[in-house]
Chains A and B, each alone.
Chain A
Amino acid sequence: MRRSIGLVALAVIIIFLALAAVNMHEFGVPDNSEMDDYFIYSCQKETGANNVVTAIVFDYRGYDTLGEATVLFAAVSGVLVSLRVARDRKAKGGGDQ
């Protein structure tokens, strides 16, 4: 029973992956390229950066980078908090927390 469910799921995944591979558009020719063309043609004019990726990350989508920095800060805070030991848990018997 379990094995057959797994096989069916595998078959479904394979079918969908094969469909996606067959229907894939040609490399380098996306269906919608207005946004890409805008970034490629006006990035150097507007921001002065040669690296389009950095221009998008730090200029056009600054909010996104702010979120990434916040995620990193939250991760460090989590590590700091979780790797701390109470000062006198033994002395108080650990019952007051």
Chain B
Amino acid sequence: MRPMSKIVQAMACLLYPSIIVFGAYLIVHGHLTPGGGFQGGAVAASAIALMIVAYGSKKYNKTRLSALESTGLVMFISLGLLGLGVAFFHNFLANTGGIFGELVEYGTNLGNLNTAGTIPLMNIAVGLEVVGALGLMMVILAKGPEKGGRV
């Protein structure tokens, strides 16, 4: 895609950081407020879409986004495997008192970030994976078929 006018580029630059921050907020607070890895990742990937529309797709390369996606997926599966002492995807950090392991009182409470065991970590992993996957898909589709690739 070709880059758009200076006005669009300036507005995209203004909006880009706030979209990224809102996506990161949705991912990190996934165990307390509505949202989570998938939703926050989709929001953050929309910032990449905005930049592709404004500046064209030449500036993005696939390597970094691909690495982000693979990192998220490997982190997610290894977090599932770490709980294998009891069961696959066992929440081995919850209610232990350590990292992400503080107790929660039943009912309405003010939300504590340091709770919920592996759920926040898995949210972050899935968020990275979704940002990488959706961003990569948009970059590839915007660039079109590539010359010199292997089949």
Distance of B25 from chain A, by nearest CB (Å): 14
Among A37-65, those with CB < 8 Å from B are 41, 44-51, 53-55, 57-59, 62-63, 65
Q: Which single member of B38, B104, B119, B133 contacts A76 (CB below 8 Å)? A: B133
A contact residues, range? 20 to 34
Q: Identify whether the interface residues of B are mostly helix, strand, loop, or mixed.
A: loop
* A contact residues around B73 at 8 Å (CB): 69, 73
Q: Identify whether the interface residues of A are mostly helix, strand, loop, or mixed.
A: helix
* A contact residues around B145 at 8 Å (CB): 83-85
* A44-B80 in contact (CB<8A): no
For the complex, give the distance between the alpha carbons of A83 and B140 in Å. 8
Partner-A contacts on B (CB < 8 A): 30-38, 69, 72-73, 76-77, 80, 88-89, 91, 94-95, 100-107, 109, 111, 115-119, 122-123, 126, 129-130, 133-134, 136-137, 140-141, 144-151
* B119-A58 in contact (CB<8A): yes
* B137-A47 in contact (CB<8A): no
* B contact residues around A18 at 8 Å (CB): none
Known: A46-B94, A49-B119, A84-B149. A66 touches B76 (CB 8 A): yes
Distance of A25 from chain B, by nearest CB (Å): 26
